[in-house]
Amino acid sequence: NAGVTQTPKFRILKIGQSMTLQCTQDMNHNYMYWYRQDPGMGLKLIYYSVGAGITDKGEVPNGYNVSRSTTEDFPLRLELAAPSQTSVYFCASSYSSGQGLGDTQYFGPGTRLTVL
């Protein structure tokens, strides 16, 4: 199993550009998540999905969009990049048979994004 994979590893964007961060998991997990990690701030949840076709907002969703057309993939879209979106982005997945409360999340290696 590759686990959770993310592409690209690094990206530099200009203000106003758009891009999609890719995330794929091969563990057949139903839950998937996107976080951003800012220095000294821990991780903040952007969006999550409890299954294909279902997505919901997390703590900091503004400026981002997601889709979940398959169990494996959960891409994160930035439509109009802003300097405030400079961060490290992590995708994670977990398996839940219930409400997902005690699930262990498995993280990808991250994407470092800089917006200039």
Partner 1 sequence: AQSVAQPEDQVNVAEGNPLTVKCTYSVSGNPYLFWYVQYPNRGLQFLLKYITGDNLVKGSYGFEAEFNKSQTSFHLKKPSALVSDSALYFCAVRDWDNNNDMRFGAGTRLTVKP
Give the DSSP H or E segment for 55: strand 54-57
Least Å from the CB of residue 69 to partner 1: 20
- Secondary structure class of 5 (helix, strand, coil): strand
By CB under 8 A, residue 90 contacts partner 1: yes
Taking the C-alpha atoms of residue 53 and residue 63, their distance in angstroms, rounded to an integer, is 20
Query: What's the CA angle centered on 95, arms 93 and 97, to 5 degrees?
Result: 150
Least Å from the CB of residue 13 to partner 1: 20
By CB under 8 A, residue 92 contacts partner 1: yes
Least Å from the CB of residue 32 to partner 1: 11
- Count the alpha carbons within 13 Å of 102 in the hemisphere toward its beta carbon: 2
Pick one of 16, 56, 70, 84: the residue that binds partner 1 (CB under 8 A). 56
By CB under 8 A, residue 41 contacts partner 1: yes
By CB under 8 A, residue 2 contacts partner 1: no
CA 51, 56, 59, 64 torsion: positive or negative? Answer: positive
* Residues in contact with partner 1 by the rule CB under 8 A: 4, 35, 40-45, 48, 50, 56, 58-59, 90, 92, 99-102, 104-110
